[in-house]
Amino acid sequence: MADEVVLLDFRISMYGMRVRIALREKGIEFEHREEDLMNKSELLLKMNPIHKKIPVLIHNGKAVCESTVALQYIDEVWNDRAPLLSTDPYQRAQARFWVDYIDKKVYDGGRKVVWSGQGEELEVAKKELIESLKVLEGELGEKKFYGGEKIGLVDICLVGFYVWFYAYEKFGNLSIEAECPKLVAWGKRCAEVESVAKSVPGQEEVYELVAEMRKPFGL
């Protein structure tokens, strides 16, 4: 029986993007179902009753929730091609450490920049975001990708945030390129990789959609 793979998703979600990229890295055909997060589908509520969030990967009718869990699942099920992680246990542990860092620090900093409005709160958020990006830039060093010559788990998990950089810059009145030029160069390299190019929206599209989402909150 052919695999049936469905992804419940939201186009500008950095978490959704990573699952799309991983599936495309592996060459897995999948059906993409866009969710309206203000009016979630019955399927989403049924498949992710605990968190009620996207992305949800549905493989032959079975749901896998949480993006990093989905990436691990994808890597284990389709383990005969395009590995997302090194075979070395220590390298694997390191990659998972950085994904955890991204999800805690970059997500938090970015969320606050987008939703803080103006003033002291925004200044603190900007500092937090830039600090976390500088740490990640340091970890990249002179490598082409975090995965080495090819994109790997850390690249796949961070590139969705790169797609939000323009929105962070506009709402935070900051220049990520001035602060982290090597990280921005890395993001541009990633954006040229086929699996990424096919999976992520443009930075302006993200900015425009987020600007619409902020309006009801008077931002």
**CA distance readout (Å), 48 to 10, 95, 191, 214:** 14, 26, 30, 26
* CA–CA dist 96, 113 (Å, integer): 25
Rounded to a whole number of angstroms, the minimum distance from the CB of residue 21 to ligand GSH is: 14
Residues 163-202 that bind ligand GSH (CB under 6 A): none
| Residue 109 binding ligand GSH, by CB under 6 A | no
Rounded to a whole number of angstroms, the minimum distance from the CB of residue 16 to ligand GSH is: 7
| Residue 66 binding ligand GSH, by CB under 6 A | yes
* CA–CA dist 56, 199 (Å, integer): 16
Q: Which is nearer to ligand GSH, 37 or 178 (CB)?
A: 37
* CA–CA dist 164, 144 (Å, integer): 21
Strand, coil or helix: 64: strand
* CA–CA dist 195, 197 (Å, integer): 6
Q: Which is nearer to ligand GSH, 13 or 116 (CB)?
A: 13
Question: Which of 6, 8, 9, 13 contacts ligand GSH by CB under 6 A?
Answer: 13
Query: What does the binding site for ligand GSH look like in residue numbers (CB under 6 A)?
Result: 10, 13, 15, 37, 52-55, 66-68
